[in-house]
């Protein structure tokens, strides 16, 4: 076979592969229509009163999204919890508890408990029961509903919806053709929309997603957020300065919804990533995983790696001092919101709606 014929044969193979990919994408988008119908029917049932909602005596602030995957809900929930605690309000967080570990808590609960030991995190499939528990037995004043936009059983007083500004246009289809759990039209239910990872999106991406959101939400109710690295943490070393990573050769792994964002954050603070590894979101690490990661770290220590970095979400499940002879550290990330005072005022006013102002200490 001469070179020209070989190239032509390879082009035919590539053409067939490309055709198969396009057909697969088309098939998934076709399947989006029955999914969209089912999601729409559910929302219509709640909107028309066919399905009834439970209204808690406590103000309910929902943090949710339209898509699957990591949009940054945990930092947003932490930001709201901190805001409410600063106003001396007793707040409970309610979540479904996906990926619960042996002790009944999942990684998000462990991460929030690390930051807010005085904030109960109630994880149960029946969040109505959790809401009653928070009000009747725990004497809470405010409920934060984690991942609550699609959970229509509980009425809410404020709906904050998160959208990842780095999502591609292809993600804006409903499942399984895209990443959306429900139609973009349902953003009309939102009181505010937070465009997360705005600093990692190009100006063109950011403007495109803003124009889409502004079809359903007023411009004044759209906020931008950045996920900024704050420090590192490790066993017996809760605060390690970020500048210690500058110029360091590290390996990094994570089990989160948006691993690319985590790796980009490490590079942004000067770390040199010589190897990365990804696990599924909410991954429950077992002994085999720990052994495998340890071997992986050891193999890269030969190439000059001096540290291994993961997310706090992963670290709370491992709590190891080292992996494969390298010190294990977690990157602590915080959310910074533009016009945070405006968004915070709306949330606090909602929370105080049925609560008397807290008494000042003498």
Q: Quick one: pLDDT at residue 112? A: 83
Closest C-alpha among 167, 153, 217, 164 to residue 190: 217
The partner residues of 227 in beta bridges, in order of sequence, read: 335
Joined tokens for residue 29: 């988008």
Handedness of CA 279, 122, 162, 77 (dihedral sign): negative
Q: Return the CATH fold of 229-334.
A: Rossmann fold (3.40.50)
60-227+337-351 topology per CATH:
Rossmann fold (3.40.50)
Q: Which residues are CB-neighbours of 60 under 8 A, at least 6 positions away?
A: 131, 142, 143, 145, 148, 154, 155, 156, 157, 158
Strand pairing category for 326-337 and 322-323: antiparallel
Instruction: Tell me the CA distances in angstroms from 215 to 65, 130, 185, one per residue in order.
Output: 17, 35, 8
pLDDT on residue 26 = 60
Are 221 and 192 a contacting pair, CB within 8 Å?
A: yes
Q: What is the 3-state secondary structure (H, E, C) of the chain?
A: CCHHHHHHHHHHHHHHHHHHHHHHHHHHHHHHHHHHHHHHHHHHHHHCCCCCCECCCCCEEEEEECECCCCCHHHHHHHHHHHHHHCCCCEEEEECCCCCCCCCCCHHHHHHHHHCCCCCEEECCCHHHHHHHHHHCCCCCEEEEECCCCCCCECCCEEEEEEECCCCHHHHCECCCCCECCCHHHHHHCCEEEEECHHHCCHHHHHHHHHHHCCCCCHHHEEEEEEEEEEEEECCEEEECHHHHCCCEEEEEECCCCHHHHHHHHHHCCCEEEEEEECCCCCCCCHHHHHHHHHHHHHHHCCCCCEEEEEHHHHHHHCCCEECCEEEEEEEEEEEECCHHHHHHHHHHHHCCCCCCCCCCC
pLDDT by 10s per residue, the chain, length 362: 443 344 334 444 445 566 565 666 666 666 777 777 788 888 888 888 899 999 999 999 999 998 887 788 888 999 999 999 999 999 999 998 765 555 556 677 778 888 888 999 998 889 999 999 999 999 999 999 999 999 999 999 999 999 999 887 777 778 777 788 888 999 999 999 999 999 888 999 999 999 999 999 999 999 999 988 999 999 888 899 999 999 999 999 999 888 988 999 999 999 999 999 999 988 989 999 999 999 999 999 988 999 999 999 999 999 899 999 999 999 998 899 999 999 999 999 999 985 555 544 43
pLDDT score for 62: 97
* Numbered ranges of CATH 3.40.50.300 in the chain: 60-227+337-351
| Chain centroid offset of residue 45 CA | 28
pTM here? Answer: 0.81
């Amino acid at each position: 076979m001469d070179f020209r014929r070989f190239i032509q044969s390879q082009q035919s193979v590539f053409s067939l592969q490309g055709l198969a990919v396009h057909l697969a994408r088309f098939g998934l988008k076709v399947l989006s229509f029955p999914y969209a119908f089912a999601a729409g029917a559910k929302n219509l049932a709640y909107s028309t009163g066919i399905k009834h909602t439970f209204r808690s005596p406590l103000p309910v602030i929902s943090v949710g999204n339209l898509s699957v995957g990591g949009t940054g809900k945990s930092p947003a929930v932490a930001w709201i919890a901190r805001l409410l605690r600063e106003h001396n309000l007793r707040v409970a967080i309610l979540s479904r508890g996906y990926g619960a570990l042996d002790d009944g808590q999942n990684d998000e609960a462990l991460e929030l408990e690390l930051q807010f030991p005085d904030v109960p995190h109630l994880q149960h499939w029946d969040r109505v029961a959790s809401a009653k528990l928070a009000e009747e037995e725990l004497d809470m004043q405010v409920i934060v509903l984690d991942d609550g936009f699609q959970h229509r059983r509980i009425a809410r007083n404020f709906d904050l919806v998160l959208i990842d500004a780095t999502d591609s246009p292809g993600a804006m289809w409903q499942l399984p053709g895209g990443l959306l759990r429900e139609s973009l039209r349902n953003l009309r239910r939102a009181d505010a929309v937070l465009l997360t990872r705005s600093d990692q999106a190009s100006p063109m991406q950011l403007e495109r997603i803003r124009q889409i959101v502004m079809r359903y939400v007023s411009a004044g109710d759209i906020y931008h957020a950045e996920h900024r690295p704050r420090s590192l943490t490790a066993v017996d070393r809760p605060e390690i300065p970020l500048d210690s990573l500058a110029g360091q050769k590290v390996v990094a792994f994570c089990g989160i919804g948006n691993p690319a964002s985590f790796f980009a954050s490490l590079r942004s603070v000067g770390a040199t990533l010589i190897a990365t590894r990804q696990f599924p979101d909410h991954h429950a690490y077992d002994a085999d995983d720990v052994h495998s990661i340890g071997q992986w770290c050891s193999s890269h220590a030969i190439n000059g790696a001096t540290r291994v970095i993961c997310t706090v979400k992963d670290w709370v499940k491992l709590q190891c001092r080292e992996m494969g002879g390298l010190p294990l550290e977690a990157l602590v990330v915080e959310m910074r919101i533009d016009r945070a005072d405006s968004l915070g005022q709306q949330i606090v006013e909602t929370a105080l709606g049925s609560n008397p102002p807290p008494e000042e200490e003498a």
